[in-house]
Structure 1
Amino acid sequence: MKKIVFIGAGSMAEALMQGWIKQNVLTAQEIYITNRSDKERLQFLHETYGVNKVDDPAIYQQADVIILAMKPKDAIVAMRELKSKITAQSAVVSVLAGVSIETITHFLGDRPIARVMPNTSATIGMSASGIAFNDKVSATQRSMFLELLEAIGSVIEVNEDQLHAVTALSGSGPAYIYYLMEAFERVGTKVGLSKDTVRLLMTQTLAGSAEMLKQSTDEPDVLRKKVTSPGGTTEAGIQALEQHHFHEAIEACIKEAEARSRSLANG
């Protein structure tokens, strides 16, 4: 039986543990959770998913993997407290935006470390994750980390510097899609449809478009042009997006998020 210990119990920790339990990769009994002070949150996760609260410090010594999932602003204090509790062999997986392997090594010592940027779609087994390893991660550990992430979606190995871009794109990506859906629902009700109707139409449209991109060998611009008849409604909509600088807005969004990830890394 594995022992996976989460330091931090926020939305990403919940998404990962829920996804792993749902996909039968880990049992609730293999997962332990702790945080600095929110005992109600720990109790909620314990009652909801059956995971264990860390009541005995010996658990840290027995852990196969320590997952850093606290808020990035709390990371340094948490790692200082954690260092004396874990063994030199314990592997560390960080899901913290902007906190580098170098920083983790400084506070937790030279040990196997992986940085992962998943997203909250891990809850339903559809995360898009990027992962980077240090040279202390063994082949066995690498396989274990990849297996855990593949069970909750897609994973791609990148170099650590590329995790800033992964964070900006797929890590934050669900929020952008939900923000887009908010806009669809707002305008859809203005043009006479119910919110439920807009939700049904657009969730299926988004899902269908994503599946077309996965199954088709065509580039996105080719698929777009196949939908866009000259002088038609789609062309009118695309022209409006261009007039409102849609591409520039998306570029600004990603660049700002990527820059924020880098600024977190620089303290």
Structure 2
Amino acid sequence: MSILTESGIGSMHICFYGAGSMAEAIARGLIGEELVAPGKISMLNRSNAERLGELHERYGVQTVLQGSTNDAYLKGADIIFLAMKPKDAAEAISAIAPLLSPNQLIVSVIAGLSISSLEKLLGSSQPIVRTMPNTSSTIGLGATGISYSDHVTPQQRLVTEVMFQSIGLNAVVEEALQDSVVGVSGSGPAYIYFVMEAMMKAAAELGLDDKTAKDLVVQTVLGAAQMVKQTGESPEELRRKVTSPNGTTQAAIEKMTELGLPEAIVKGMKRSSERAAEIGADIERSIG
């Protein structure tokens, strides 16, 4: 029996409450990997009919513009993705709580919102999955941290992991480590973009035109990531292989180390994780 058949996901109805870029990325993955038919996916938002029209036209998903209601989509869903903005989450989740039934799987992609907070807002023993995808999910190369409440069944775990595999890699972690996931992969793409910005600036100062600089930097980053992935060697091992004694790479690494680049990256990632915890605490206070 295949994992898709075992999960039963193809027969399920999935509702996205929130129709932003992350919800779109996940829906695109489900449809593109032929896990769920577009007609079994509904996408809701509070007022942006133009956005809903775009999503229906692009993917064939269902919205209120196709004649049903938000309440009907929520009640009829096997899986409900909570994908609204954090500032709107508490009010919106409390409002839909009376519509839900105990067997519906709730999947949150809301940064900082804990499982215990969701349980308070929902007021019931729903099976809840807390996730932290990143923006690379929009091209199917995401990295997602997944944590489960005690009420999630083995079959629901399987379904969850099948869904997130459609947009990249996932890692099941204890919920206490979700803030660490934010610091590593949630904010991670921006760190790489930041380094790429600096590399392109340096390339321009070294005399290369903008297009050439961008092409070289992009290919260099892509190639380096693929080398780590395909060879199975650690970044440290690969760096040593290309760092000849007294050569150009050693000169660059020594200067970057002298100026504190490794320490800055470590401290920055830790600060991202700390900020995730602060945002979570703010949400907890607003609910409490």
Same fold (TM over 0.5): yes
Match of 1:87 in 2: 101
Match of 2:247 in 1: 232
Find out whether 1:42 has 2:57 as its counterpart: no
Q: What amino acid sits opposite 2:196 in the alignment? A: M
Please list, as runs of the form range in 1=range in 2, the aligned pairs for 1:144-155 lying within 5 A after superposition. Answer: 144-155=159-170
By how many angstroms is 1:233 displaced? 1.2
Please list, as runs of the form range in 1=range in 2, the aligned pairs for 1:1-150 lying within 5 A after superposition. Answer: 1-54=11-64, 55-56=68-69, 57-108=71-122, 109-150=124-165
Give SS of 1:97's match: coil
Range 5-14 or range 129-138, more displaced:
5-14
Conserved 8 A contact 2:25-2:167: no
Distance 1:208 1:24 in 2: 30
Conserved 8 A contact 1:94-1:115: yes
Distance 1:10 1:177 in 2: 23
Match of 1:171 in 2: 186
CA gap of 1:47–1:132, structure 2 versus 1, over 3 A, is: same
Identify unmatched segments of 5+ residues in structure 2: 1-10, 283-288
By how many angstroms is 1:217 displaced? 4.1
Distance 1:3 1:39 in 2: 22
Identify unmatched segments of 5+ residues in structure 1: none
By how many angstroms is 1:65 displaced? 0.6
CA gap of 1:198–1:26, structure 2 versus 1, over 3 A, is: farther
Range 41-50 or range 238-247, more displaced:
41-50
Distance 2:189 2:128 in 1: 26
Distance 1:45 1:251 in 2: 39
Distance 2:38 2:155 in 1: 23
By how many angstroms is 1:163 displaced? 0.8
Distance 1:14 1:172 in 2: 19
Match of 1:161 in 2: 176
Distance 2:264 2:188 in 1: 14
Give SS of 2:36's match: coil
Give SS of 2:256's match: helix
Percentage of pairs with the same residue: 42
What TM-score results when the alignment is normalised by the length of structure 1? 0.94
Conserved 8 A contact 1:23-1:125: no
Conserved 8 A contact 1:15-1:121: no
By how many angstroms is 1:30 displaced? 2.1
Superimposed CA distance per residue, residues 88-122 of structure 1 (whole angstroms, 9 cap, x where no aligned partner): 22110001111000000111121100011111222
Q: What amino acid sits opposite 2:26 in the alignment? A: L
Superimposed CA distance per residue, residues 217-265 of structure 1 (whole angstroms, 9 cap, x where no aligned partner): 4332221111111221111111221122111211222111111111122
Conserved 8 A contact 2:102-2:127: no
By how many angstroms is 1:18 displaced? 1.9
Q: What amino acid sits opposite 2:98 in the alignment? A: S
Distance 2:255 2:193 in 1: 21
Find out whether 1:208 has 2:218 as its counterpart: no
What TM-score results when the alignment is normalised by the length of structure 2? 0.87
RMSD (CA atoms): 1.6
By how many angstroms is 1:13 displaced? 1.2
Aligned pairs, how many? 267
Range 22-31 or range 163-172, more displaced:
22-31
